[in-house]
Structure 1
């Protein structure tokens, strides 16, 4: 139930919220970057999954911490499946992803490519998002609300990764 695409922080009008990076483009206009969403929720019947993103250093003193973003897309799902599979195979909660990100690409059968828009950067970004996010599982049930109804709530929260060194 991870999101299929990037999720952004939206204002009251549904527009993406952007902040200044503190840098200027060649034409002298200030550069901005959109803020990524801090959480994502999906509901199916009585079940709700909420993913809360980790944070990173912000672009300026006005925004000291910003969201890393919620893990999203097919690569995030592939990484999550790979990490869980390796933990089960090794019978250990500690998973070795390889010496380099190239080793991880080989294990995932992902063709590595460099640059700012390359697969290596995207893979590392999604891996960091998975390592820093937390998940909350909630179930709500009842026969109605108010004086005559009965409500029942159940849930649990967890860190997907307790410690990481990337």
Structure 2
């Protein structure tokens, strides 16, 4: 099974021709086995459970690893029209909590966004609902993961964010935060309590912007990428771009590096490192038509990973005001 773009298409065809077990004999590498398993999980999912995320995160991204920076900024979009500016919150000791990062931060934001839009309410219940979501994603919030979830929820609750959106000669600025009100449980001994308060209230501006710009995502695909933040970012990006394209559209490595290259010191290193995450992202998006070329990617018009009309078995029903 080829590693280039021809192989990406073959993954899904092999599954259709031979089934999940039969296709495994064609997988010669660990990545190819991962792609087959991930693609099989998505292709066999008939419920089409849907999650949501603010579409701004399809064009910009949080860091993948912990950073000492207290101000984080990334620019993305077809012509660099969207910039995300995140500022760390501070505690009473004047020390920064830090910028949210990694796959756990992304999963928390997806959960908060989904629940808020699902119920058309800024107030989101946590505790059991968060644990249930993380469990569905294959994440058991215990031990080190428990500590990481607590840390990322605190960073998300305390940080400030601004979206800059260039529109011709003007720039639209949306300032606010993810969470308006939050309560932290201090100390390591929780006495059986949840690591979150029972509810959090999303920031007014973020909630309104989220309702105006929700990006549907397929939960089964998110689960397969749950521990891989770069692949998750690429899946979100492709889910946003492909189904609205009127024609084949080139995207340069330079543009992709600007948007997704956090942690890579050079564009050359980025191009080398992004190949595997891209392969995984495409594996869980069977409808995607993407060519990998020397100068970058060619994106082709493709069906959305989430159908416009969900089957009756789907658990998500979008509630609008």
TM-score, length-scaled by structure 2: 0.35
Query: Could you say which residue in structure 1 is the equivalent of 2:74?
Result: 42
The 2-side partners of 1:106 and 1:46 are apart by: 36
Query: Could you say which residue in structure 2 is the equivalent of 1:97?
Result: 126
Query: Could you say which residue in structure 2 is the equivalent of 1:30?
Result: none
The 2-side partners of 1:129 and 1:3 are apart by: 13
The 1-side partners of 2:120 and 2:165 are apart by: 29
* Residue correspondence of structure 1 range 53-72 to structure 2 within 5 A: 53-57=88-92, 64-72=93-101
Deviation at 1:129, TM superposition (A): 0.6
Which of 56, 74, 78 is the matching residue for 2:107?
Answer: 78
More helix by share: 2
The 2-side partners of 1:40 and 1:46 are apart by: 17
* Residue correspondence of structure 1 range 17-166 to structure 2 within 5 A: 37-44=69-76, 45-57=80-92, 64-98=93-127, 104-109=130-135, 110-114=139-143, 118-140=144-166, 152-165=170-183, 166=197
What SS does the aligned partner of 1:65 have? coil
The 2-side partners of 1:104 and 1:85 are apart by: 11
Tell whether the 8 Å contact from 2:111 to 2:130 is kept in structure 1 after alignment: no
The 2-side partners of 1:93 and 1:78 are apart by: 18
The 1-side partners of 2:177 and 2:103 are apart by: 21
Structure 1 unaligned spans of 5+: 9-36, 58-63, 143-150
Query: Could you say which residue in structure 2 is the equivalent of 1:23?
Result: none
Query: Could you say which residue in structure 2 is the equivalent of 1:6?
Result: 66
Q: What is the number of residues matched between the two proteins?
A: 118
Structure 1 ranges of 4+ moved more than 2 A:
103-107, 139-142, 151-154
